[in-house]
Structure 1
Amino acid sequence: MVDHFIFYMDRFTEMDSMMGKLNLCEKSAISLTPVEKEYILHLDIQQSSQATGSDNPLLASSSSNYSIRLFSMSNMATLKQINAHDNVISGIKFSQTENHLLFSSSWDKSIRCWDTRTDTKKPVQEFSGSDKNLLCLDINSSDSKLAAGTEASDINEVDLFIWDRRKSSVLVKYTDSHQDDITQVSFNPQKENILASGSTDGLVCEFDLTQPTEDEALFLTLNSRSSVAYVGWCEPKYNHIYCTTHIDTFHVWEAEEGDAIFQVTDLKEKLNDKIEYIVNYIGSTDSDDWLILGGTHKGDLSILQLSSKDEVKTLSTLTGGHKATVRCLMWDAHSNSLVTGGEDSMMCLWSNKPGSAPNEPKIANKLKMKKGTRKVQPY
């Protein structure tokens, strides 16, 4: 969203310092001269530890032309295009245990599974059962369950579906916990039966899928007081739930009792309108701070550190990559790299690898573009 990030405790020791050293390494354009720009809507990365025989995982992106593209994470080279759906793609997610499988959800009311080792002309598995558009997708840590939320019907009926991934069958459908579009679903990365959901009704719900009924499964209802954009779990212990909203507020709750841990509702004012929106949450450390990405509609980005002391610190600025609104991000802890995708049809790779900006002076909290940055037209 957003989506699960795999972080390691030792990588967070100096995370704020690391964020200040990111450089723009590669750019890939999914369309250079489009009649209508193809927005990049979602990103996901294979877990590097699962990338068989290689330390170069696949990066997947979905775009507004209903396709998915696969890239090499190391250099952003395009490897394959999947003509995945006949309507808007609402989520993509790599398998947690079989790294060659990629799942996608769509407004065409289906979830499809693609085997990246094949020609991907046909899905290897398909999940159905919804009579409404699917707006979000996630898969749990054991790959045993898929979750997706729907849009609301004319009479405010909205569904949260759970499928048995191996049998392609619906396990359960929850219908009473939300009253409007479900914008995000997110499994706890360490607890395969714990699921969080967010909705434009302002609610964030937490479910225990081992319980027999919806009333028993729903054990927390949290109120963001605004339409929810993204929901997920905060590192490193995944015992906090975060959400961002469509009016650019950010909230963190304790996941067992539902206590409010942190919220910021005036981020743009605190930064004197240097950012115009929140892209999404990036990660957090074992201390009381959270990293988020903010942006302007001209494409400039800022990595912000939010502190429980009600402080906002700009760790670094990312310029020279995008020229329009950034829609999505993905942080890869294995390579200490950030990938961003936007409405300018561009996907940018930001990394703190030594030498990524040769012959340029180091400037604290200011990102530099690598000399010779490539701009790729994949098709």
Structure 2
Amino acid sequence: MYQLTAVDGYKYPKPDTYVLEILPIAAGLAAIASDQTLSLFDPTRLNAGPLKQITTDHGNLTCAKVYDPAESIVCTAGENGTVSIWDFRINPIKPAMQIRACSNPTHTLAAGTELANHQASILLWDLRSSPSSPKITYTEIHSDDITELTFHPTTPNLLLSGSTDGLLSISDTLITDEDDLVITTFNHGSVHHAGFLNQSSEIYAASHDEKFAIYDMSDGTIEKGAAVLDMGDIREAVGCQYLANVVPKLGGNNGAVVGVGAQDQELFQLVHLAKGGNGQWGLDRESVVALPGAHGQELVRSFVFYDEQQLVITGGEDGAIRSWRPT
């Protein structure tokens, strides 16, 4: 294990503000917070405060996604059912458009709803041809709140969806008949985080009760889909109290970094998830990176990397964004 040192930071002035999500984009570091703001920071000078900031109009801001990192376009979504697409190249920041959806890095946007009237829906928009209304709506993939949506990075017609109904589903959005579009389903438990491990066919998933597993969609079927790695409760496996998120490493199949924390120890750790020479996934316990002090006794909500600057940046429920470097 080796440690990083906190070298810089910014704390939101409004009391009881949570940093909900931080996202690296070409213009800098985008962040959303529970004070309903979307902000842009210089990741190397956090203490200078926001370079740009806008108060969103979502009722209650809930999530953000990068639509196009190269062009610094970010989407935010909220409880009033809308998403705004913000272009940071424009000064002052203005929404490029407003639609009811969540984002992905293709020309298609996907949105998931909570369960309402006994139905949870996934809606898709084509921003090139018909951004004002969804091109298709799926109502039978999940039977409870949609919690995760992401498109495969190299096969964008494949949509991964997760739900509190316990299911992870892979759907082919080129198929219009909803009876046929689900090609693989995994029963994981109430899904908190899930995503593709880069260009591979493998998927990570973490449940709301911290169960962690990896699945391979090339081997799974709707009837049977066992995990290729089932760690059970990750809190017991690595000695933590919560899993913040999983961030795939860029390029090829370089694995991912799992961020875990322990509030009573005021500690956050980055654990490398890698595939060994035997083709089996596992956590590399020998190269754990510790962030001592972390965000005190508050949870870390999000973390990102700036490899060229040797920076790790974290956002937490203490209302702070902090940057870390090797000691």
How far apart, CA to CA, are the structure 1 residues paired with 2:166 and 2:34?
A: 26
For residue 300 of structure 1, what is the aligned residue in structure 2? Answer: 267
SS in 1 for 2:136: strand
Structure 1 letter corresponding to 2:7: C
How far apart, CA to CA, are the structure 1 residues paired with 2:38 and 2:107?
A: 23
For residue 110 of structure 2, what is the aligned residue in structure 1? Answer: 147
2:206 aligned with 1:244: yes
Task: Give the number of equivalent residue pairs.
Answer: 309
2:24 aligned with 1:45: yes
For residue 319 of structure 1, what is the aligned residue in structure 2? Answer: 292
2:184 aligned with 1:220: yes
Q: 1:268 aligns with which of 231, 235, 245?
A: 235
Gaps of 5+ in 2: 275-279
For residue 377 of structure 1, what is the aligned residue in structure 2? Answer: none
Instruction: Tell me if the contact between 2:111 and 2:149 (Cα under 8 Å) persists in the aligned partners.
Output: yes
Instruction: Tell me if the contact between 2:87 and 2:94 (Cα under 8 Å) persists in the aligned partners.
Output: no
Instruction: Tell me if the contact between 2:67 and 2:103 (Cα under 8 Å) persists in the aligned partners.
Output: no
For residue 125 of structure 2, what is the aligned residue in structure 1? Answer: 163
For residue 109 of structure 1, what is the aligned residue in structure 2? Answer: 81
Instruction: Tell me if the contact between 1:187 and 1:195 (Cα under 8 Å) persists in the aligned partners.
Output: yes
2:171 aligned with 1:204: no
CA RMSD of superposed structures (Å): 2.6
Instruction: Tell me if the contact between 1:270 and 1:312 (Cα under 8 Å) persists in the aligned partners.
Output: no
Provide closer, same or farther for how the CA distance between residues 310 and 90 of structure 1 changes in structure 2, counting only shifts above 3 A.
same
Provide closer, same or farther for how the CA distance between residues 195 and 120 of structure 1 changes in structure 2, counting only shifts above 3 A.
farther
For residue 230 of structure 1, what is the aligned residue in structure 2? Answer: 193
Provide closer, same or farther for how the CA distance between residues 263 and 120 of structure 1 changes in structure 2, counting only shifts above 3 A.
farther
Comparing 201-210 and 308-317, the one that deviates more: 308-317
Q: 1:346 aligns with which of 310, 315, 320?
A: 320
Deviation sequence 1:176-202 (CA, Å, 0-9, x none): 011111111111111222111111111
Q: 1:69 aligns with which of 39, 45, 67?
A: 39
Structure 2 letter corresponding to 1:173: T
1:213 deviation in Å?
Answer: 2.0
How far apart, CA to CA, are the structure 1 residues paired with 2:212 and 2:317?
A: 23
Instruction: Tell me if the contact between 2:5 and 2:292 (Cα under 8 Å) persists in the aligned partners.
Output: no
How far apart, CA to CA, are the structure 2 residues paired with 1:27 and 1:195?
A: 36
Structure 2 letter corresponding to 1:90: T
Deviation sequence 1:327-370 (CA, Å, 0-9, x none): 12223455453321111001122234xxxx4xxxxxxxxxxxxx
Provide closer, same or farther for how the CA distance between residues 263 and 290 of structure 1 changes in structure 2, counting only shifts above 3 A.
farther
For residue 337 of structure 1, what is the aligned residue in structure 2? Answer: 311
1:147 deviation in Å?
Answer: 1.0
How far apart, CA to CA, are the structure 2 residues paired with 1:59 and 1:219?
A: 36
1:98 deviation in Å?
Answer: 5.5
1:72 deviation in Å?
Answer: 1.1
1:218 deviation in Å?
Answer: 1.2
1:295 deviation in Å?
Answer: 0.4
1:100 deviation in Å?
Answer: 3.3
How far apart, CA to CA, are the structure 2 residues paired with 1:118 and 1:288?
A: 35
For residue 9 of structure 1, what is the aligned residue in structure 2? Answer: none
How far apart, CA to CA, are the structure 1 residues paired with 2:181 and 2:98?
A: 26
How far apart, CA to CA, are the structure 2 residues paired with 1:98 and 1:305?
A: 26
How far apart, CA to CA, are the structure 1 residues paired with 2:283 and 2:112?
A: 34
TM-score by length of 2: 0.85
SS in 2 for 1:124: strand
TM-score by length of 1: 0.74
Deviation sequence 1:73-102 (CA, Å, 0-9, x none): 222242011111242222212332761322
Comparing 36-45 and 277-286, the one that deviates more: 277-286
1:326 deviation in Å?
Answer: 1.0
1:123 deviation in Å?
Answer: 1.8
Instruction: Tell me if the contact between 1:205 and 1:222 (Cα under 8 Å) persists in the aligned partners.
Output: yes
1:23 deviation in Å?
Answer: 3.6
1:210 deviation in Å?
Answer: 1.2
Deviation sequence 1:298-335 (CA, Å, 0-9, x none): 54101224564766616121113412111122234554
How far apart, CA to CA, are the structure 2 residues paired with 1:289 and 1:121?
A: 35
